[in-house]
């Protein structure tokens, strides 16, 4: 069996806002075809036009080969061999950053494809169920609102709604300051962040797990620690991306001092970037994004290294049901994975999140049952795919 064709789809919601901080407004979806009619699907979370160019570009020398050219004609079931081939063959152009995001979409599609060829769910192909915990999605909640009162009110409403939908855990996107704030909000006083967290906690009660994401809000670890201490009494499971990604020393100092677990890693590419943080003692919770980190092949390696360092894993995912399914399969094969991120279909502003897939992994009583269908277990709505294509 051979790979015969790779298709890339650049997708965008028609009502996107360039000043919003939600990457759920776009997507890069790939389909990998074989000569026997199987199709694997994957996605990645980066600029979709540039990722498509990375996948489709021709190679010009042996350290700058084209990703599509390397895959056409290859055995689709040799997934880890193909990862290595793509990583080495594109190393001068890729190796980190967007090159790895592009490989991530292809690797995700290759695991889906192999699952469909062999009639097995991806987690079985990836080594089996080493995680005795159930797959627990947490509802990622990003409210609308161009002022703090509206933002807080909608966030509280969505937290209550997530609880009603059966979610056992929610993450509050309190992106109200810093370089990645939502809708250009800039609220300097960190006590406001604590008030938002408290309002949500009071609305949903003590049983629901609460995480907080501030999207790189603070400039240094002492500013972060001071702010975290303001809401540490609200039983927060982790604080996400408190500092800029490359402040490895800052992360290490914050992890040592913080009363709340520190989580990061959504933008990191390959296990090598995670290992830098692990070795520095810079994380409590590793958050590989399956598409960005280099696919399921690389995400599983990150998860194993995290377990070896005594760290939790909670994969990042801000995309469609394709990526959520990839995270679910990763959870099953990751010894220390406690939750996976999920934009609830019912609470997502992005039509792309809501409509791209006609079939997704079900959530039953707040958990995702062990997937049984071949591959990732999701199906694309072809009409939706065409309608979002640009
Ligand atoms: Mg985040």
Tell me, in angstroms, the distance from the centre of ligand 1 to residue 240's CA.
Answer: 6
Residue with the two structure tokens 């199987």: 38
Tell me, in angstroms, the distance from the centre of ligand 1 to residue 266's CA.
Answer: 7
Q: What is the Cα–Cα distance from 323 to 290, expressed in whole angstroms? A: 7
Supply 178's token pair: 């810093």
Q: What is the DSSP letter of 379?
A: E
Nearest to 240 by CA among 322, 142, 149: 142
Q: How many Cα atoms within 13 Å fall on the side-chain side of residue 319?
A: 29
Give residue 102's pLDDT. Answer: 98
Supply 300's token pair: 């599983």
Q: What is the Cα–Cα distance from 43 to 94, expressed in whole angstroms? A: 17
Confidence of residue 390 (pLDDT cuts 50, 70, 90): very high
Mean pLDDT score, 234-242 = 98
Taking domain 3-120, whether its CATH number is 1.10.287.3510 is answered by: no
Tell me, in angstroms, the distance from the centre of ligand 1 to residue 386's CA.
Answer: 28
Strand-pair category, 312-313 with 340-342: unpaired
Please determine, for residue 156, whether its predicted confidence score (pLDDT) is greater than 90: yes
Confidence of residue 17 (pLDDT cuts 50, 70, 90): confident
Q: What is the CA radius of gyration of the chain?
A: 20
Nearest to 388 by CA among 342, 355, 343, 344: 355
Give residue 84's pLDDT. Answer: 98
Q: Residue 97: phi, psi to the nearest 5?
A: 60, -145
Give residue 387's pLDDT. Answer: 97
Mean pLDDT score, 257-264 = 98
Tell me, in angstroms, the distance from the centre of ligand 1 to residue 76's CA.
Answer: 33
* Contact status, residue 297 vs residue 79, Cβ threshold 8 Å: yes
Mean pLDDT score, 17-41 = 93
Residues of the chain with CATH 3.20.20.120: 137-380
Confidence of residue 181 (pLDDT cuts 50, 70, 90): confident
Residues of the chain with CATH 3.30.390.10: 3-120
Confidence of residue 133 (pLDDT cuts 50, 70, 90): confident
Class at the top of the CATH hierarchy for domain 137-380:
alpha beta
Q: Over the chain, what is the mean pLDDT?
A: 96
Q: What is the Cα–Cα distance from 186 to 147, expressed in whole angstroms? A: 9
Give residue 282's pLDDT. Answer: 98
Confidence of residue 25 (pLDDT cuts 50, 70, 90): very high
Please determine, for residue 183, whether its predicted confidence score (pLDDT) is greater than 80: no
Using alpha carbons, list the distances in angstroms from residue 69 to 30, 49, 60, 250. 15, 18, 11, 41
Tell me, in angstroms, the distance from the centre of ligand 1 to residue 116's CA.
Answer: 31
Give residue 285's pLDDT. Answer: 98
> What string of DSSP letters covers 323-344?
HHHHHHHHHHT-TTB--EEE--
Tell me, in angstroms, the distance from the centre of ligand 1 to residue 181's CA.
Answer: 11
Confidence of residue 349 (pLDDT cuts 50, 70, 90): confident
Residue 206 CB neighbours (<10 A): 9
Give residue 173's pLDDT. Answer: 95
Helical packing angle, 79-89 and 296-308, nearest 10°? 90
Mean pLDDT score, 139-143 = 95
């Amino acid at each position: 069996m051979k790979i015969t064709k790779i298709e890339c789809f650049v997708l965008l919601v028609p009502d996107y806002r360039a000043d919003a901080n939600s990457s759920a407004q776009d997507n890069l979806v790939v389909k990998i075809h074989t000569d026997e009619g199987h199709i694997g699907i994957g996605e990645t979370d980066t600029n979709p036009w540039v990722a498509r160019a990375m996948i489709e570009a021709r190679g010009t020398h042996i350290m700058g080969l084209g990703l599509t050219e390397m895959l056409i004609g290859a055995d689709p079931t040799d997934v880890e061999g193909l990862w290595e081939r793509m990583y080495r063959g594109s190393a001068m152009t890729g190796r980190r950053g967007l090159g790895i995001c592009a490989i991530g979409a292809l690797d995700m599609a290759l695991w889906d494809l192999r699952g469909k060829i062999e009639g097995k769910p991806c987690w079985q192909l990836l080594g089996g169920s080493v995680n005795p915990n159930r797959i627990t999605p947490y509802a990622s909640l990003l409210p609308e609102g161009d002022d703090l009162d509206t933002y807080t009110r909608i966030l509280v409403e969505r937290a209550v709604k997530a609880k009603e939908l059966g979610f056992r855990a929610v993450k509050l996107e309190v992106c109200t300051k810093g370089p990645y704030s939502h809708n250009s909000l800039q609220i300097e006083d960190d006590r406001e962040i604590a008030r938002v967290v408290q309002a949500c906690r009071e609305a949903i009660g003590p049983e629901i797990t609460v995480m907080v994401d501030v999207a790189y809000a603070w400039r240094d670890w002492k500013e972060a620690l001071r702010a975290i201490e303001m809401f540490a009494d609200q039983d927060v499971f982790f604080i996400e991306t408190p500092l800029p990604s490359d402040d490895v020393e800052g992360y290490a100092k914050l992890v040592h001092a913080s009363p709340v677990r520190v989580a990061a890693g959504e933008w990191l590419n390959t296990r090598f970037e995670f290992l830098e943080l692990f070795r520095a003692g810079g994380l409590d919770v590793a958050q590989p994004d399956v598409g960005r980190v280099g696919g399921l092949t690389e995400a599983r390696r990150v998860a194993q290294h995290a377990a070896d360092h005594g760290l939790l894993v909670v994969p990042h995912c801000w995309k469609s049901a394709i990526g959520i399914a990839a995270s679910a399969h990763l959870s099953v094969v990751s010894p220390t994975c406690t939750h996976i991120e999920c934009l609830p279909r019912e609470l997502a502003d992005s039509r792309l999140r809501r409509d791209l897939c006609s079939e997704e992994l079900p959530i039953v009583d707040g958990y995702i049952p062990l997937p049984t269908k071949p591959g990732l277990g999701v199906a694309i709505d072809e009409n939706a795919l065409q309608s979002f294509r640009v």
